[in-house]
Amino acid sequence: MFQLTNKSAVVTGGASGIGEAISLLFARQGARVSVLDVDEAAARRTADRIVAEGGKADAQRCDVSSGADTIAAMAAVEKAAGRIDILANIAGVVHIGTVETTAEADFDRVYRVNVKGMFLSTQAAMPVILKGGGGVILNMASIASLIGIPERFAYSTSKGAVLSMTRSIATDYMTRNVRCNCICPARVHTPLVDGYLRSTYPGREQEMFQQLSAYQPLGRMGTPEEVAQMALYLCSDEASFITGQAFPIDGGVLVL
């Protein structure tokens, strides 16, 4: 079960955190993985790790907020792999602030990456997916698209757009053999979290880490690997009857 043998998968933001975990797991399940990331060196490290484990992968720099970059990236994948069966839109940025404390430039940056970037990547990949007879699109949303979270104004509204985008794509393409779903994680322990704690709470990293962990009723953050397992299911043939849905992986947050 959950094999991706002979599938061609593209993972944006695939060089670190959740994107890296998805890239590695998809490759271990048989997919040929194209790791796309704005950090080309990091993307190549992830691809090299896949190859070292016996998998198939390539890497390239891609700024998802650039139409030229996404078009070039998807064309390169088609040339190398011949098709795109899976597009995992994982690239994203975060921002902390209320509507009053969010600068216009910060709001624009969050939307440029989280919303426009997902639109451009999907728009560039869709003709290739359709040419191959269909496929799967997986978007990274957040529990912030389902509930209110303090001081996440720009981030939450961007992830709300991701949820709506997911349902729109699913509706438009379900008769053309393209499924589209999104995952809505609570806090996940990634290098991004560690960097945030170091820069925002120097000397109090462990204390604040515990506070962030306690937000989830299960008492900890999720792991990138746990999110990757859900991504694998949704992109596998076992989930062939599922489209247009949002899947929380939240440590119990939505129960309370």
pLDDT digits (tens, 9 = 90+) for 5-43: 999 999 999 999 999 999 999 999 999 999 999 999 999
| Chain centroid offset of residue 209 CA | 23
Model confidence at 250, pLDDT cuts 50, 70, 90, reads very high
Strand order in the sheet with 8-12: 56-61, 32-37, 8-12, 86-89, 135-140, 178-185, 246-249
- Percent of the chain whose pLDDT exceeds 70: 100
| CA atoms of 154 and 23, how far apart (whole Å) | 27
What SS3 state is found at 243? coil
Where are the domains positioned within the chain?
A: 8-186+224-243, 187-221
Rounded (5°) CA angle 51-52-54: 65
- The residues carrying an active-site annotation are 155
Taking CA atoms, 34 is separated from 3, 7, 119, in Å, by 17, 11, 18
- Answering whether pTM is above 0.95, one says yes
For residue range 39-63, list pLDDT tens digits in order: 999 999 999 999 999 999 999 999 9
Whether 200 has a pLDDT exceeding 90, the answer reads: no
Mean pLDDT of 144-153: 96
The fourth-level CATH superfamily of domain 8-186+224-243 is NAD(P)-binding Rossmann-like Domain (3.40.50.720)
